[in-house]
Amino acid sequence: MIFSKSAIWLLCALLLLSVFMANLLNIIATDQNFYSDNKNLSVNYTKHLERKIGQITDTSENLIWFLQISDIHISIFRDPGRITQFQQFCDSTVKKIKPMAVLASGDLTDAKAKDNLGSSQVKQEWVYYSSIIKESGVTADTIWLDIRGNHDNFNIRSINSEENYFKNYSVQGPNHPKSYLHVLEKNGVSLAFVGIDACPEPGLRRPFNFIGMLDAQEQQMLEKLKKEAESKADYIVWFGHYPTSCIISIEKDSERLDLRQLIGSSPASRAYLCGHLHAMGGLVPKMYTKQKRGFLELELEDWKDNRMYRLAAIDHGHFSFVDQKHNVWPLVLVTNPKHARYNLPGREPLNLIHSSTYIRIIAFSDVNIDMVKVSFDKDSWMNCLHKEGPLYVCKWLPHLFNNGLHYLYVAATDELGREAFLKHPFSLDGTSVYFEIIPRILLMVNGGTVFQSIFGTLLIINVLPLVILRFHKTPPKIRRRYGYNFVKRVWLLSKIDRVFWPIVLYAIYLPFGPWAIGKLLDEHIGVIFAWGIVIKGVFLPEPFTYMYGGVQLMFIQIPLVHILAYCLEIRLFKSNIRGARRLIMQLPFIFLLSIQLLLAYFFWLEYGTLSFLFGPLRTWSVVLTILLWYRTITLPVDYCSKLRKLDQTPT
């Protein structure tokens, strides 16, 4: 059977797509069972917990709860509500919930200039943060565990520099400037919190600090903290600012720490709690997954714009959580039976749920709770009995729910008549509820690899078609007229040496040559490459540069080829047009040039005059664009004649 070229290309595309999808699905698979992969370790650990806990009853023993808040972004230039409502959170919310700890997982301050482009530490923002915590007295009743985020590391030369206000104005900074361990014991629960500081040193100005980095020293520290946590606590909760997908470990002596491997290697690890991604602007509000090593990774939507916080609990060895908007009451969390999506086989004593005698719920409000009730069918409701503190219990018969997925409905009402209602899936036979695809991709795929892949793909799209068309004696045959005319224009453009070579060579230059030389830190000049940044004699393998270059390729270089091809058509076949109509025909170029000038201006605001002058990526590309446009619209007459004859060659 003879296949057409289109069919062959389609088959190749489908093959590549199927390989890509197979690899992606393997990367984001969440059906790994820690128990089956680590049977002996899991059996010993869960048996130890079962012996220690005994049975799930109606007391507050073996119950502990805590809060998380992330991406506060205290700013003196924008949105005063961040400060006033953060003060309410400390003055009221924390005191009503009375958590054993509050995790503040980075970006405590905004550190952005009034123009929203420049970035540097603002002392007054740190003073606000420190004053609110001190004046609220929140640390007298709970443990406040804060850690740095990338905004808290803007324009900081080293961890010991004066501009690193975290070490003086945070709660943990004076004693723990980077990663640290805190062990909490209450109600028969020993819980270790491991804070991961992945801020690179030095800390550059934005935007080249999106990815967190763990150097050799910090990798050794985390391994030490993990061993210490295992020796002191039954459960470990890890927290930091960056998701694991946005953290790279710097290799030293052919060794590199796999952070997910480190967290997952301990059966005591329950979850890694983070922020940083701001729920992708609110588009992915529940960014949760279970990593291949069997622990949960839970990104928390930001406080900055959405005023979100998280309530989490460990009840009889089972980890549960709920994310809540500020000032929305009542706040309700079911701790037994465990939510089916978040079961952790091999890490939690799930067998205890089978023999438990009580449904267990913790409920809070800023006023008294009037009633908590539960139902399995939304028709027959049972009132829960209030025990100590926020704990509400109701007797149940778990053997009635041995098979399949079931739902528990919970309604809580406070004395102001406000009601919270939730639908809680659970299973006793391991039936699970799947995690959504997009959160899994964002949290499980390596961010640096994604940025490199996007940049590489755009580079190929920018260069390969031009090179292929240059070697074609005639434009490729395309059935659709519009497509054929479009390809023909680019084909003609590829024949012009004075345009073809600058476009191709500039694109080839981007993966290798410096993009800018300038003050990436106050008083320190650095060099930006696609593959990283060199400053202060230190190489920072910052993968976000690939995304930054990808913007140039996607929105400047690729459109430039199309616009030049369009200008060439005007020069060859519409040169007799004059006046306003000719100006209108150049509007695409004017629009593209405006975007380039705007990007170059933003780069100047971010990194100063030196980087603007010595900036091949942004500033020099403006000059190149103008030069190529001018060469195209002023193409010599003899060149035009050759191209017209070429266009008339029979196909």
Beta bridge partners of 63: 315
Task: Give the tens place of pLDDT for each residue, 68-101.
Answer: 999 999 999 989 999 999 999 999 999 999 999 9
Omega before residue 177 within 30° of 0, cis: no
What does the pLDDT read at residue 539? 86
DSSP string, 550-617: HHHIIIIIHHHHHHHHHHHHHHHH-TT--THHHHHHTHHHHHHHHHHHHHHHHHHHHHHHHHHHT-TT
| Percent of the chain at pLDDT exceeding 70 | 91
Q: What is the pTM of this model?
A: 0.90
Q: Which residues contact 495 (CB under 8 A, 6 or more apart)?
A: 470, 643, 646
Residue range 424-449: average pLDDT? 91
Q: Cα(545)–Cα(527) distance, rounded to whole angstroms?
A: 12
Residue 17 has pLDDT above 70, yes or no: no
Q: Do residues 56 and 294 lie in contact, with contact meaning Cβ atoms separated by under 8 Å?
A: no
Q: Which residues contact 482 (CB under 8 A, 6 or more apart)?
A: none
- Choice between 651 and 50, residue whose per-residue pLDDT is larger: 50
Task: Give the tens place of pLDDT for each residue, 166-177.
Answer: 999 999 999 999
Please state the CATH superfamily assignment of the domain spanning residues 29-53+61-325 in this structure. Metallo-dependent phosphatases (3.60.21.10)
What does the pLDDT read at residue 559? 93
Class of residue 307 by CB neighbours under 10 A (exposed 0-12, middle 13-18, buried 19+): buried
Task: Give the tens place of pLDDT for each residue, 89-145.
Answer: 999 999 999 999 999 999 999 999 888 878 899 999 999 999 999 999 999 989 999
- Choice between 435 and 578, residue whose per-residue pLDDT is larger: 435
Residue 6 banded pLDDT, cuts 50, 70, 90:
low
DSSP string, 394-420: EE--GGGG-SSEEEEEEEEEETT--EE
| Percent of the chain at pLDDT exceeding 90 | 63
Residue 323, classed as helix, strand or coil, is strand
Task: Give the tens place of pLDDT for each residue, 189-234.
Answer: 999 999 999 999 988 888 888 999 998 899 999 999 999 999 999 9
Residue 165 has pLDDT above 90, yes or no: yes
Mean pLDDT, the chain, as a whole number?
89
Q: Cα(437)–Cα(326) distance, rounded to whole angstroms?
A: 27
Q: Do residues 330 and 365 lie in contact, with contact meaning Cβ atoms separated by under 8 Å?
A: yes
Task: Give the tens place of pLDDT for each residue, 481-499.
Answer: 666 778 888 888 888 889 9
Residue 113, classed as helix, strand or coil, is coil
Phi, psi of 116 (to 5 degrees): 70, 10
Q: Cα(278)–Cα(18) distance, rounded to whole angstroms?
A: 31
What does the pLDDT read at residue 541? 86
Residue 649 banded pLDDT, cuts 50, 70, 90:
low
Q: What Rg, from alpha-carbon coordinates, does the chain have?
A: 30
Task: Give the tens place of pLDDT for each residue, 325-380.
Answer: 999 999 999 999 999 999 999 899 999 999 999 999 999 999 999 999 999 988 89
Task: Give the tens place of pLDDT for each residue, 22-69.
Answer: 566 566 666 665 555 666 777 888 888 989 998 999 999 999 999 999
Task: Give the tens place of pLDDT for each residue, 237-250.
Answer: 999 999 999 999 88
Residue 254 has pLDDT above 90, yes or no: no
Task: Give the tens place of pLDDT for each residue, 520-537.
Answer: 888 788 999 998 899 888
Residue 1 banded pLDDT, cuts 50, 70, 90:
very low
Strand pairing category for 235-240 and 269-274: parallel
What does the pLDDT read at residue 406? 95
Count the alpha carbons within 13 Å of 270 in the hemisphere toward its beta carbon.
Answer: 27
Q: Where are the domains of the chain?
A: 29-53+61-325, 447-647
> Would you give the DSSP letter of residue 89?
I
Q: Which residues contact 271 (CB under 8 A, 6 or more apart)?
A: 237, 238, 295, 296, 297, 298, 312, 319, 321
Q: Cα(629)–Cα(206) distance, rounded to whole angstroms?
A: 32
- Cα separations in angstroms, 296 against 194, 299, 443, 558: 15, 10, 10, 40
Task: Give the tens place of pLDDT for each residue, 267-280.
Answer: 999 999 999 999 99
